[in-house]
Amino acid sequence: MSVTVSTTRSRKPKNFPLYRTLPGFARDPLKELERISRAANGEIVRLDLGIVRPLLVTRPEHLQIVLRERSDDYARDGIFWRPLDDLMGIGVLGGTSESWATSRRVLQPVFTARNVRALTGRLADTINEAVDELDAAAQAGRPVQASREMARIVNQTVVRIFFGGKIGPAEIGKLDPAFEAVIASLAFRVLLPFMPETLMPRGRSYRAGIRAIDEVMYGLVERYRDDPGEDLDIFTALCRARSAEGSGLTDKWVRDNLVGMYAAGTETTATALSWLWPLLCHHPDVAERLYEEIDRVVGGDRVRPEHLEGLTYTKQVVQELLRLYPVGWQFPRVAVRSGNIDGFPVKKGQTLLISPYLTHHLESVWDRPHEFDPDRFAPERASGRHRYAYFPFGGGPHQCVGNHLFHIEAQLIAASVLSRYRPEPVGPVPSRPGMGRTLRLEHELEMRLVPVGERK
């Protein structure tokens, strides 16, 4: 299908009025958005959400226009982005177009595939050490919580990659609960951006969390900004970049970029990997293929960087779980000038709602979109697919700089855990996401980890 911007015809977007959609949004906002997306079938439609009336854009060809071809016309701004300002500030995940461009220019070399590969040995070592801590529960037959353990493993890994040895247990002890409190409140703030601060749920813990994050991050910057050393970690790279750029990059710039990338690197990876376990429980055929590959490639060893080349099906599993449950499930844009997309008029100031989750579930784009099928990403099936049919990390100039790091980390964690244990659910297995800033499990999954040699 080829779609271009039309300048000779005007098409009026279908409107979904509030009185028709409100009951569905009240019951299950994500399910109601799915219903609207199916009804639109890739066409641009207007949602009446009361205080805002965004255009819903889901077709890959339209997304290419917004995210890449005319990305300067559609800014990361507006009411849905403002809740992130306190946390992300002027870094690569927030800020104005000028501050974002500076951050992107400075940070992109840090996250190239080559530089990320240089970190892979340290990643593997840290992951192995974190997975070692599962052994006591596995040997005792004691259930663990999937999301909690993924968050623990990811946090330990990200702390080492981001900070090296510059951060101590006391500071980590402050950061973990602070980020947890802020992220919990952001779920409400993103969904209800027009609510007054005094009425916002968890407002006190949110503000306390921001203060704790600032205390730790600014303390680190003050200690190391003039002499960050030569360690291979993200914080050191940021401090060196600040020194190279001169006074144009402030302590706040370092803090905002570090906080934004740390939040993205921990929450997104942990949330995505938490979906691996219910999907394997629901799809034993996929689980057996995954186990066979990991047993063959890793065997009884501890995971190492050289194992990645052989973990091809593992990579497909990770790609498919991101298709079904992209962590950043929606990210709005605001038109900075009037124009049109395929003939649909877009006025200056208009909000566009973009959702990888909805595009990834379009029947006009994907065959059997609600089924978990990692073979979609086998080379012979993936070739020829539209670039914006699958975009869990965004696209165009604003594509997430950490996508290489995510894929390496996710594959190593999955391989490290499954080379040692097989998960067995205890209690109900989640099948629907809970909707907030990210798509989390609707309820916690408890599972026993059976050592591979003891599996019946």
Q: Say if residues 266 and 179 touch (Cβ distance below 8 Å).
A: yes
Q: Whose CA is closest to 265, among 233, 312, 307? A: 233
Q: Say if residues 425 and 445 touch (Cβ distance below 8 Å).
A: yes
Helix (H, G, I), strand (E, B) or coil at 405: helix
**From CA 352, how far away is CA 29, in angstroms rounded?**
17
Q: How many CB atoms lie within 10 A of CB 166?
A: 18
Q: How many residues in the chain?
A: 456
**From CA 83, how far away is CA 60, in angstroms rounded?**
27
Helix (H, G, I), strand (E, B) or coil at 92: coil
**From CA 79, how far away is CA 70, in angstroms rounded?**
21
Q: Is 281 annotated among the ligand-binding residues? A: no
- Return the axis-axis angle of helices 97-107 and 251-263, rounded to nearest 10°: 80
Query: Which residues make Cβ contacts (< 8 Å) with residue 54, sequence separation at least 6?
Result: 46, 47, 332, 350, 351, 352, 353
**From CA 393, how far away is CA 175, in angstroms rounded?**
25
Dihedral angle sign, alpha carbons of residues 331, 337, 338, 341: negative
Query: Which residues make Cβ contacts (< 8 Å) with residue 420, sequence separation at least 6?
Result: 131, 134, 135, 138, 449, 451, 452
Q: How many CB atoms lie within 10 A of CB 362?
A: 19
Annotated binding-site residues for heme read 400
Annotated binding-site residues read 400
